[in-house]
Structure 1
Amino acid sequence: MPLFNLTSLRPATFNLAGIPGMEKLHIWISIPFCSMYLASLLGNGVLLFVIRTERSLHQPMYLFLSMLAIADLMLSTTTLPKMLALFWFSAGEISFSGCLTQMFFLHFSFSAESVILLAMAFDRFVAICYPLQYAAMLTQSAVVKTGMVALLRSFCIIFPCIFLLKRLPFCGHNVIPHTYCEHMGIARLACADISINILYGLAVPFAAIVVDVVLIAVSYVLILLALFRLPSRTARHKAFNTCGSHICVILLFYIPAFFTILTHRFGREIPHHVHILLANLYVLFPPLLNPIVYGVRTQEIREKVVKVFICPKSNFLQE
C-alpha cells in the first residue's frame, strides 16, 4: 500500500472506551484502583528509599529487589494515570504515538520484570547451593550486567511490535474497548490481515516468558534438592525461609499473567468486561503486593524501615 494511503488510514487519535458495559460504574471502580495505585507508589517508593540509603542492603538480593520495584512502578504508572483520567473525566482520547508508547512500556516492563525474577531465582540458587562462591559470582558488576540484559532483551522483544502496528491501515476504526493500549487490542482495529501480529504477539513474548518460568522452576528444584541434603532441620527451615518471599512474588506475577493471557486467547465465553477487569487487576496487584510481601517476610527490610521511618531519632542518638 502506498505510504500516503497508509498514513491517511492511520487515525490521529484512539479513544479508550474503558470497561464496556460498566461505564456507569467507572467512578466507583476508580476508587479502589486509585487507592491501590497510591499504595503501590508508597510501598515501592519506601522500598527503593530504604535500599538506597542503607548500605547494609547494597547486596545482590536487595539490588534485584530494587530493580523489581522500578519495573513495578513502570508497569502501573504506564497505565493507571490515563485509566483514572478516563474514569474521572471521560478523557479516553490518546494520540496514535501516545498509544504505541503506552503499549511499548506496558509490555517492556512486564518482560523486564520476568527477567528480574529469573535473576532473583539464580541469586537464591547460588546463595544456597554454592554459598562459598556467592560473593565471587554475584558481584556488583554482575548485578549491573543482569539489569542491562533485562533492558536489552525486553527492548529487542517489544520494539518490533511498534513497526508491526505502524504498518497496518485502520480505516477510521479508532475505539479501543479497553482502559489502556496493548498490542493485540490495537491490532484488532486494523482493516487488514493481522496474522503476523497474532503470531509475533503470542509466540515471541510468550516463548520468552515460558523460558524464564522453566529456568526459575529448574532453579528451585535444585534448591529443594540442596535443602533436603542439609543435616539440620533448623538450617533447612532458615534456608527455605530466604526463598519464601521470592516464591510468593513469582506466584503473584505469573499466575495472574498466564490466567489473563489464556482467558484472553481461549476464554471466548467469558464476558469482555471480565477480561478487561482481569487485565486491570494484573497491572495493579503485583506492584501493590510485592513490597508488602518483602516488607512482611524479610526481617532485614522490616528492621531498616523501622530504623529509617519510625524511630530515626533514637537510632541517631545510639550512633
Structure 2
Amino acid sequence: MSATVTSLHETEFFDTDSLRLLRHNLTLGIQDGRWCLDTADGPISMAGSDRGVPPTLSRLVRAYTRDDQLVPVARLRGGREDLRARLGDRIAVPARPHDGSARGVVLEYVRAQIAALAAADLAVRRGMPDSVHRLRVAARRLRGVFTAYAPVLGGRKLLKEFGGALRWLGGELAPAQLADDTGAPVPQALDSYRYVQLLNALDVLEVVLSEQPRRDRPKAARRPAAKVLPPLARAVAEEVDGRVAALPAAPDQERAVLDVQKAVERLRYALEAGAPVMPVDAEALRAFQRLLGDFQDSVVAGEHLRVRKSWRDLRRDLRPLWTCSGEGT
C-alpha cells in the first residue's frame, strides 16, 4: 500500500473503504511523521512510516475494521469533524425509527451492546482496567436478551448459534479477567477468525432484523413493546422463582446457587432491555445478586431462609410483571 506524503500540518486519514472507523467516531491519520488514532478514551500517537498503517494501530481497531484493509481516504487540515464534513455523504446510515414495537425496543438494546463489544475490545487491546470485564458483560447481555426475547428477534432457532458463540467468547475471556487490571496480554480469542465471524454475524443480524418489512415480522415483533415484553420478562422471573424454591433440596448447593445467579442475571438484562416500557427497575436485582455471591462463599443451611426471604421481598418489587396489562405473545 502506498500513501501520498503529507504536507506540513496536513493529515492523511486512513480508513476502510466503507469508513468503518469514521462511522464509529474514530479517526486514524498521519501528520508530519506521526500516526494518531483518536478514540473516545483519548488519542494514541506513535512515530511511523507513511508507507502504511503501523501493525500496532491496525490491531487496536480490529473490532471495527474486521480485517478490511486500511487505505487513504482523505488529506486535509483539521480533525474528525472536518473529515466527517468531507466524507459525510459516504457515511449516511439508514434511519432506525422508534416505532414502539417489541422488536424496535429490544433492538435498541442489542445495538448498544454490539457497540459496547467493539468499544471494550479496543479498551482490552489498550490494556485499560476492567476492560475484559466490560467485554464479557456485553457478551452476556446479548446472550441474555437473545434468550429472553427470542420471539421478537427471529426465534430461538436463529439465535441459538449466537448464544453458543457468545458463550465461547465469554469462556475464552474468563482467565484474562483475573488479570484485568494488570495489563495482561490480549486474549488469543480476540485475534481469531471465529471472533471476527461473530462480530460480522451480529452486524448482519441487526441489519436483517431492522430492515425486515413490518408485515413479514412475527406477530410478537410487530406488537407494542408494553404488551409483549413484560410477559416475556415474567417468564424469566418465574425461572428464578423455581430455582430459589429448589435451593434447600439441591444435592449440589454450589451448582444450584450458580444456576440462580445466572437466572437472576438474565432477568436483570431482560429488564434493562425492556426499560423503556418495563414497569420495574433492574437495579433492584443488584443487591440480591450480591447476597447470592455471599451465600455461595459460605454455603450454610440457615442461609437458605435469608435468600428465599430476600427473593420474596424482591418479587414484590417485580409484581408489576404479573399485574401489567401485557397479553403475552
TM-score by length of 1: 0.27
Determine which structure has the larger strand proportion and give its number: 2
Larger RCO (CA under 8 A, 6+ residues apart)? 1
The structure that is helix-richer by fraction is 1
**Higher CA-based Rg:** 2
